[in-house]
Amino acid sequence: MYASDPAPVGRVPVSLRARNLGPGPLDPLLHAIGGTPLLPIVRLAELDDAPFEVWAKAEFLNPSGSVKDRAAFEIVRTGVESGALGEGRTLLDASSGNTAVAYAMLGARLGFPVELCVPRNVNPERLGRIRGYGAEIVFTDPAEGSDGAQHEARRRARERPERYWYPDQYNHPANPLAHYRHTGPEVWRQTAGRVTHLVAGVGTGGTISGTGRYLKEQSDSLRVVGVEPSGPLHGIEGLKHMPSALRPSTYDERLVDETIRIETEVAEAMRRRLAREEGLAVGISSGAAMAAALEVGRRHPGAVIVTVLPDADRRVEGGSTQ
């Protein structure tokens, strides 16, 4: 089964047109947000003795290259429709990378200024894309991670409330709502209701909370597994070690039945295997999610596991062409 179920996530609100912020209610670029395919993981799963299925939600196929397009669009929609974003105000938020790219893309497409607080050690490729979309970048202490970026964004918003709209992706209800409305129903339809486990990384917690909530409403037996780095000092961009981090209100821990913590080296090795054995060039957080999904499968023969591959890997790797 190769499942694809497009959903009209990217329908631009009429109020965007009224504020001259958008090209129309059926903009094809924004309409492409969501409706990502569910891909079978074949070779990696076949290497294990226990029979189980692993399916990957290909969120790296969203327009800006990550799952964050879903939440960023839903957040921007609320800002425009409430009047909080517009009239020249700048969208200000903190991000570890992918949401920053999504916001920057939306700002360029819809015509509002964007300023983003990001740790200085964010992937250079992502920084280049943020700048390419025309957004402003404020660097924060890399040792403080995304928590430090949040502190700086809050400080700027307090000092210049007339200039900024600070939605705060880590605490905005539209973040998990985007996944409850769209990602969860997509997964349910794409698996014909067969899914037994959802395995997803925990960053803002929006993806796992919104998707998990919807799926649990459809199946009492479904289990939700969160994926976190093994400790506070790690190299898995986009994921949080919750015991040592600012806890986002967008993360509903009550929905999570189990948390698996993955070492950075394990996530990186799995990222490489996904490219070489499954043809999926994805980021390190996707490697962490897949490593956890395979662990769940080994422990639960017969499981139908859906994991989320949050973003693409645009680095060029390989040997010499000589």
- Residue 275's nearest CA partner among 101, 54, 43 is 43
Beta-carbon count within 10 A of 127 CB: 18
Beta-carbon count within 10 A of 210 CB: 28
Please confirm, yes or no, whether 57 is among the known catalytic residues.
no
DSSP 65: S
Task: List strand residue ranges (DSSP E) for the chain, in order.
Answer: 38-40, 53-58, 90-94, 114-119, 136-140, 164-165, 197-201, 223-229, 258-262, 304-309
DSSP 274: H
Distance CA 24, CA 110 (A): 10
Beta-carbon count within 10 A of 232 CB: 12
In sequence order, the 6+-apart residues with CB closer than 8 A to the CB of 184 are 210, 211, 212, 213, 214, 215
Going from the C-alpha of 73 to that of each of 2, 188, 313, 317, the distances in angstroms are 26, 22, 22, 31
Q: Is 116 strand, coil or helix?
A: strand
Beta-carbon count within 10 A of 91 CB: 25
Please confirm, yes or no, whether 216 is among the known catalytic residues.
no
- Yes or no: say if 284 and 37 are a contact pair by the CB < 8 Å rule: no
Of 57, 68, 209, 286, which one is the catalytic site residue?
68
DSSP 311: B
Of 64, 95, 96, 285, which one is the catalytic site residue?
285
Query: What amino acid positions are annotated as catalytic residues?
Result: 68, 285
